[in-house]
Amino acid sequence: MDTLKEDLKKHIIEELNLEDLQVSDIDDDALLFSTEGIGLDSIDALELIVLMEKYYGIQVTNPDEGKVAFLSINTMADYIEKRKA
């Protein structure tokens, strides 16, 4: 699970061009879409959907599903585990 979270952070930084961030800057429970957290926006949310398919083979067909699943690294990791199970 921890490796999954680390990998997830690496992919997010790379795919979303968050060049000013390191893996260690992202807390597992930080809110990804809050300005207090990582400050991602609506295009980032769509790019996370692309990332889910590219690295984890998970298709998200309804962006609303993403809204709940992509709250934090923790919720994303849970979502991946559940979908893969």
Partner 1 sequence: MSFITVCCHINENSCFVNGETVLHKNEESPDSWFKQLYKELGIEYPKFYKMDMLSQGGFIGSEFIKRAKPDLISKYKDDEIALLFANSKSSADTDIRFKESFLEKKTPSPSLFVYTLPNIVLGEISIRNKWFGENMFAILPKFTPDFFVQYGTILLNTGSKAMLAGWLGISEGRVQVFMFLVETENTNGEKFDAENILKYSGL
Partner 2 sequence: MIFIGAEEIISPLGQNMEENFLSVYENRSGISLIPHAGFNDESIHLSKIAGIPNYNKFEFLIIDILEKVLKQVDPSIVLSKKTIVIISSTKGDLDRNISNPFADSITAFVKYFELANEPIVVSNACISGVLAINAAGNFIKSGLYDHAIVLGCDVISDFVLYGFQSLFAVSAKPCAPFDVDRDGITLGEGCSAVVLSSSKEIFQKSSFQLLTGTSANDANHISGPSRTGEGLFRSVKKTLEQNHIDGNEIDFISAHGTATVFNDEMEAIAFERLEINEKPLNSLKGYFGHTLGAAGVIETAISLQMMRNNLLVKSLGYKESGTSKTLNIATENKSSELNTILKTASGFGGCNASLVIRKI
Q: Which residues bind partner 2 (CB under 8 A)?
A: 41-43, 46, 50, 63
User: Quick one: which H or E segment has residue 78?
Assistant: helix 73-84
62 contributes a contact to partner 1 by CB under 8 A: no
78 contributes a contact to partner 1 by CB under 8 A: no
- DSSP secondary structure, 19-77, as one string: TT--GGGS-TTS-TTSTTTT---HHHHHHHHHHHHHHH------HHHHHHHTSSHHHHH
CB nearer to partner 2: give 47 or 78.
Answer: 47
Part of the chain binding partner 1 (CB under 8 A), chosen from 1-9, 11-19, 26-34, 66-74: 11-19
**What is the contact surface with partner 1 in residues (CB under 8 A)?**
16-21, 39, 43-44, 46-47, 50, 53-54
